Structure 1
């Protein structure tokens, strides 16, 4: 086995001059010629446009403009200026009924005796009124459920303690 037969990295193999030297420069690629189809294409804006001009209006028979703003179903109570303002598209802000929020908070705090009753009252008031608030029904129902459940548990606990004392 001679010096030329050895694999790199094994004893007896020829060592490169400088392993940290940059690789040899490659010749620059030769630019290719474009097919003849590209040369025949018209320059942008040189020919007639297949699209109607933005200033042309549709014929009067196709227009349905009675002066009323266009409202999509379900978006009657949405402030479109708030939706279309700002960067990019945004979604409409859903306002929750403050009584529904209070019902939920009081329902969570109903672990304290007596706080479940105001949660039930706020929940029923929130479900009854419709002041243009889009959200809050789920909050009111959750406040009602927590208020009723925890109030019933407190009443059962008081009755059980009172029954044990009298027996």
Structure 2
């Protein structure tokens, strides 16, 4: 899957050449998605194992994790926006990074919480849906979301 990530970065090579400072935020985007998605997945698997949630509760979990993602993403996005001024004085670059982080965290929380339900529905151990799978999905989606938001917000291309 690492080669898919490289393909995504290669696709946005012109964007990186136009505004090279955006490369400084890439690791934040990848790391945040994998971490939040993994944590969300772990909490859901634990709750399933303890019998606290069932398959029928998927929509409640979806709503809760969307809300948690919005709150967490907003806080971390605001911190990234402010911290971004340490490396870039371009408000739009920093805002694009902050907005990307918010979207990535919401996405990762939702996917991380829904994968165990999909596993259980398919009669697969929900734990298989954690760890490397959610991290890979969140990493790939995270870098793509970041470049898509930056490209749109900075009107590149």
Which structure ranks higher in relative contact order (CA pairs < 8 Å, sequence separation ≥ 6)?
A: 2
Q: Name which one, 1 or 2, has greater alpha-carbon Rg.
A: 1
Normalising by structure 2, we get a TM-score of: 0.28
Normalising by structure 1, we get a TM-score of: 0.27
